[in-house]
Structure 1
Amino acid sequence: MATATTLGELLRSQGISRRAFLKFCSATASMMAIPAGMVPAMAEALEQAKRQSVIWMSFQECTGCTEALLRSHAPSIESLMFDFISLDYHHTLQAASGEAAERAREEAMHANAGDYLLLVDGSIPTIKACSTIAGISNLDMLLETASGASAILAIGTCAAYGGLPKAAPNPTQAMSVEELITDKPIVNIPGCPPLPLAITGVIAHYLTMGALPELDHLGRPLSFFGENIHDRCYRRPFYDRGLFAETFDDEGARKGWCLYKLGCKAPETYNACAHVKWNQGVSFPIQSGHGCIGCSEPNFWDKGGIYDSVPMGQFGTGPKIGVAATVGVAVGAGAAVLARGKKHKSEAELHSDD
């Protein structure tokens, strides 16, 4: 359970040096487009913070989101779990089961009422009999747990937009988190699964700033979803020159030409896959030879076949981060650090617009 010990005291007790701590803060600042000059203020704010209670709930999902988090490397799952957050409930990772597991959730909710982060992966079946945990329907468990949360992170496309379970004909009448919870701040971190850094980056931002990051029109953090994959793809020059692979094993494919004609959805998909990549920056689907399937966009399962090309020259018009927008996000983040003081914003501050 979360304790009153500050993160600074906790890190010092574990022998973590000031230099290592500042490296973590620098990495977080870079990841979230915060000026390097704000790192000392960020470090001071984080040192004074209390260890954050986190409750993670899984509903109609494949466990891919948890698997993605376990492969995060900056910050790692170990540092998040044991140094910066108190992961008080997680179906897959917790040792407890049965009554002990549900008691852990209830105790975390009561001990940290109004101040815990709720992470949800998987869509929620509104036909209650379709899925239950400890005899409680997924819908009822979500509503109960969300009521005391300070903010919610919808992890993966199923939680963010309904995903595969919501695809037609949607037999469980699945819904996304934001369709069911309308009175809490929500960050959508879509993907099948989402990029690990997008999950840990948002958590690190919340711990550091005491507030959620800047979001796009679909509730996604701009730092990771502000540009489409097509614009950052290393195959983009081949697209511009009209050089396309026609099959997965032709000469164009062997030369690394654009996969647009093989159904790549990168022109309409907003995510950081092309520059953050997977497996500690080793690769991403397009680099591995398969086109993007658009998994971080709403209703991607119902938009046609995986190998159907999007209309050429009619790409999506989602948000992009320009220089002015980036500066605006950075200035706002810096102000949040300085104003934060010794604790997170209160629930009233977080919900001042409600």
Structure 2
Amino acid sequence: MPSEPTLGGLLHSQGVSRRAFLKFCSTTASLMALPAGIAPAMAEALASARRPSVIWLSFQECTGCTEALTRSHAPTIENLLFNFVSLDYHHTLQAAAGDAAERALEEAMHANKGKYLVLVDGSIPLMEYCSTVAGHSNKESLEHVCADAAAVINIGTCSAYGGIPMAKPNPTNAVATGDIIKDKPIVNVPGCPPMPLAITGVIAQYLTMGKLPELDHLGRPVAFFGENIHDRCYRRPFYDRGEFAETFDDEGARKGWCLYKLGCKAPIAYNACAHVKWNNSVSFPIQSGHGCIGCSEPRFWDMGGVYDSVAKGNFGDGAKLGAAAIAGAAAGASAAYLARRKKTEIAEGAHGDE
């Protein structure tokens, strides 16, 4: 049986030029905040590598994460799936079904023992047999497939932190992947759904660098989740001037003022939405006129109402912390946050006197 061809040989056979390949590596380096000069070394390492086996497990989810991945544009879904990885198992995208699908899973695990990546989409219910695949509970499937994996990548907030299925009252006793798998490297790519470039960027770095990216304290790639949305938002100057929309159709909303009072969670959310954006970098929720709901944060669905302002202080799983403590901790600069709030209050008072 012939061995798996190298990625370089595969790309060459498909007419991909070295120039195009270097451009891809430069794009990847930029996405992951790596030095641009590393691109040639990445290209050399990647060209001699063999495609890693990828097994995608879907549990309690809505298929939104797969939908997000198919809308990635750099690298494209076609390049990612059919050139750079061997996607050996995926409920939604695979052609096989039934016994043939499960046989493909076992063959991929056996042939790539200790080397394959597991991508998990959806939370895992601990209530026995409320969700099964091929007669096995989601927990059993996860433990079985992850046993010989090289690493696990959680795709979306449901697998990373439990997501909406874990929201109160959590009828299926849903948990996150990390609550079950303790002995494997895990990367969380949260979001409801996650940003396509965050998914492909993590996989691309693993392929080109042979290692997973730097992570923050919540297991998220720093390159995509290292900055506060509020600090990168184009509406931030309005916030600093104390100019807030009071309703979604008032004069302030029409002028593009800050949506903080309408429930925007950008001050407590970390993600790349404000600068990477969605739909081929066309827009993101705040630009479209709706506040951030903080979907990349743990327990976001239980953190107060979607349209409740952070200032009400109902955020944090019953902790009832004050807004300054929450937003300050999220921004990593409590004093700076309080100073900005004071400035806003002064501005609001001045407007009220007019």
1:317 deviates by: 2.8
Query: What corresponds to 1:295 in structure 2?
Result: 295
Partners of 1:66 and 1:21 in 2: how far apart? 25
RMSD between aligned residues: 1.4
Structure 2 counterpart of 1:317, from 326, 329, 334:
329
Query: What corresponds to 1:169 in structure 2?
Result: 169
2:268–2:331 Cα contact (<8 Å) kept: no
Aligned pairs for 1:178-327 (under 5 A) are 178-311=178-311, 313-314=324-325, 315-318=327-330
State the Cα deviation string for residues 148-199 of structure 1 (Å, max 9, x = none): 1100001000000000000111111100001110000000000000000000
Q: Secondary structure at 1:41's aligned position in 2?
A: helix
Partners of 2:330 and 2:309 in 1: how far apart? 18
Q: Relative to structure 1, is the Cα distance of residues 142 and 151 closer, same or farther in structure 2, using a 3 angstrom cutoff?
A: same
The amino acid that maps onto 2:175 is M
Query: What corresponds to 2:39 in structure 1?
Result: 39
Query: What corresponds to 2:21 in structure 1?
Result: 21
Query: What corresponds to 1:115 in structure 2?
Result: 115
1:3–1:50 Cα contact (<8 Å) kept: no
Partners of 1:37 and 1:130 in 2: how far apart? 50
The amino acid that maps onto 1:61 is E
The amino acid that maps onto 1:184 is K
State the Cα deviation string for residues 65-93 of structure 1 (Å, max 9, x = none): 00000000000110011110000000000
Partners of 2:250 and 2:159 in 1: how far apart? 38
Q: Secondary structure at 2:264's aligned position in 1?
A: coil
Q: Relative to structure 1, is the Cα distance of residues 151 and 195 closer, same or farther in structure 2, using a 3 angstrom cutoff?
A: same
Partners of 2:36 and 2:3 in 1: how far apart? 30
Indicate the structure whose relative CO is greater, using CA pairs within 8 Å and at least 6 residues apart. Answer: 1
Q: Detail structure 1 runs of 4+ shifted over 6 Å in the superposition.
A: none
The amino acid that maps onto 1:263 is G
The amino acid that maps onto 1:241 is R
1:319 deviates by: 7.4
Instruction: State TM-score, norm by structure 2.
Output: 0.89
Partners of 1:137 and 1:308 in 2: how far apart? 37
Partners of 1:169 and 1:279 in 2: how far apart? 34
1:4 deviates by: 2.4
Q: Relative to structure 1, is the Cα distance of residues 316 and 149 closer, same or farther in structure 2, using a 3 angstrom cutoff?
A: farther
1:156–1:194 Cα contact (<8 Å) kept: yes
2:129–2:136 Cα contact (<8 Å) kept: no
1:146–1:152 Cα contact (<8 Å) kept: yes
Query: What corresponds to 1:99 in structure 2?
Result: 99
State the Cα deviation string for residues 19-73 of structure 1 (Å, max 9, x = none): 0000000000111111111111111011111111000010000000000000000
Partners of 2:235 and 2:107 in 1: how far apart? 51
Q: Secondary structure at 1:51's aligned position in 2?
A: coil
Mind listing any 5+ residue stretches in structure 2 that lack a counterpart?
A: 312-322, 333-354
Query: What corresponds to 1:58 in structure 2?
Result: 58
Q: Secondary structure at 2:54's aligned position in 1?
A: strand
Mind listing any 5+ residue stretches in structure 1 that lack a counterpart?
A: 321-354
Q: Relative to structure 1, is the Cα distance of residues 31 and 268 closer, same or farther in structure 2, using a 3 angstrom cutoff?
A: same
Give the paired residue count: 320
Q: Relative to structure 1, is the Cα distance of residues 318 and 208 closer, same or farther in structure 2, using a 3 angstrom cutoff?
A: farther
The amino acid that maps onto 2:329 is T
Partners of 1:102 and 1:65 in 2: how far apart? 22
1:316 deviates by: 4.4
The amino acid that maps onto 2:201 is G
The amino acid that maps onto 1:45 is A
1:313 deviates by: 4.2
Partners of 2:121 and 2:98 in 1: how far apart? 20
Query: What corresponds to 2:345 in structure 1?
Result: none
Q: For the pair shown, which has the larger CA radius of gyration, 1 or 2?
A: 2
Partners of 1:301 and 1:3 in 2: how far apart? 47
Q: Secondary structure at 1:12's aligned position in 2?
A: helix
1:121–1:155 Cα contact (<8 Å) kept: yes
1:132 deviates by: 0.4
